[in-house]
Amino acid sequence: MALLVDSAWLDDVAQVCRDFPVVGVTTNPTIVLAAVERGQKLSLVDLARELLALCPGPVFLQPVAEGADELVAAGRECLAIDPARIVLKLPMTADGLHAGKLLGSEGARIAFTAVYTLPQAYQGLLAGAEWIIPYFGRLRRAGLDACARIGEMARLLRAQHAETRLMVASLKSPDDVIEATLAGAHDITAQPDVIRAMVHSPLTSDALAGFANDWRLVQQALEQG
C-alpha cells in the first residue's frame, strides 16, 4: 500500500513528504486552481518539476482537452517532463479510454480518474491502467455505500487477476482513510490536513504528557543523588 498527498501547494507537499510516509503527489485542475488562488503562480510544467523534486515517487497530472486527439497531445506534453514518474490522470470517458490506450501503448503510465461504477472500473483495467481512482467522498455524498463500492471494485480486480491498483481519493477524514483501506483500497491519496490528522489522538497526547512528567521526575531524582 502507498500513501500519496493530494495537493499542488508546494509548502504543504514539502512538509508532508518530509514528515510522513508519503511516496507521491496527486493533482487535478481543481487542486491546481486552489494553489493559484493562494498566490502560487506556476505553469503546469514548473509545478510538476517542483513536485518531482519534493517527493520520491509518482506525480499525477491531469491533462484537460476536448476530444481524444487533443487529450493525447496534452498528455504527451505532460509526459515530456519526466515519462518515468509522471502519471496521467485521464477521464473515464470514451475519449479518455482512447487516449489511455494509445498513450499506454507508447509506454505512458496511466490512471483513470472519477471512476464510480463497476463497468467503468472494468473498462479501465482492460485498457491497461496502472491505477483506477474512485472518489470515496463523492460516492458517499451521492447516497451510495462508498465502502461497498470500493470493496466490489477490489473484488473485480482480484477476479480478473489484474495488475491495476485501486487508489481511493476524496477522503475527508482519517476514519475515511481507514474505511477505504479496509474495504480494499490498494493506495490512498488524501489532502495534507487529513494526513496530518492521522497521527493525532487525545490518548496519545495524555500518555506523552505523563511520560514527560515522569522524565522530569527522573532527572530531578538523579540530580539530587
In a domain, 210, yes or no: no
Angle at the Cα of 77 (from 114 to 95), degrees rounded to 5? 40
Please provide residue 217's backbone torsions phi and psi, each rounded to the nearest 5 degrees.
-65, -40
Rounded Cα gap, residues 210 and 49, in angstroms: 45
Domain span holding position 121:
2-200
DSSP 110: E
Is-catalytic flag, 172? no
HSE (side-chain half, CA atoms, 13 Å) at 204: 5
Has residue 215 been placed in a domain? no
The pTM of this model reads 0.92
Q: Which residues contact residue 137 at a Cβ distance below 8 angstroms, ignoring those fewer than 6 apart?
A: 146, 170, 171, 172, 176
Q: Catalytic pick from 41, 89, 101, 172?
A: 89
Residue 189 maps to a domain: yes
Q: What pLDDT score was predicted for residue 193? A: 97
206 in a domain, yes or no?
A: no
In a domain, 113, yes or no: yes
**Which one-letter DSSP state was computed for residue 22?**
-
9-28 pLDDT, tens digit per residue, is 999 999 999 999 999 999 99
Over residues 118-149, the pLDDT tens digits come to: 999 999 999 999 999 999 999 999 999 999 99
Q: In this structure, is residue 125 part of a structural domain? A: yes
Burial 189-212, CB ≥16 within 10 A → b, else e: bbbbebbbebeeeeeeeeeeeeee
E strand or H helix at 166, and its extent? strand 165-168
Question: Which positions ≥6 away from 134 have C-beta within 8 Å?
Answer: 115, 116, 121, 149, 150, 153, 166, 168, 169
SS3 159: helix
Q: Which pLDDT tens digit goes with each residue over 71-109?
A: 999 999 999 999 999 999 999 999 999 999 999 999 999
As a whole number, the mean pLDDT across the chain is 95
CATH number, domain at 61? 3.20.20.70
| 19 belongs to a structural domain | yes
The answer, yes or no, to whether residue 223 has pLDDT greater than 90, is no
State how far the Cα of 92 lies from the Cα of 205, in Å rounded to an integer.
44
Length of the chain: 225
Place of cell 481519493: 169
A 10 A CB-CB count for 213 gives 10
3-state secondary structure of 8: coil
Residue 221 domain flag: no
Domain count, the chain: 1
- In whole angstroms, how large is the CA radius of gyration of the chain? 21
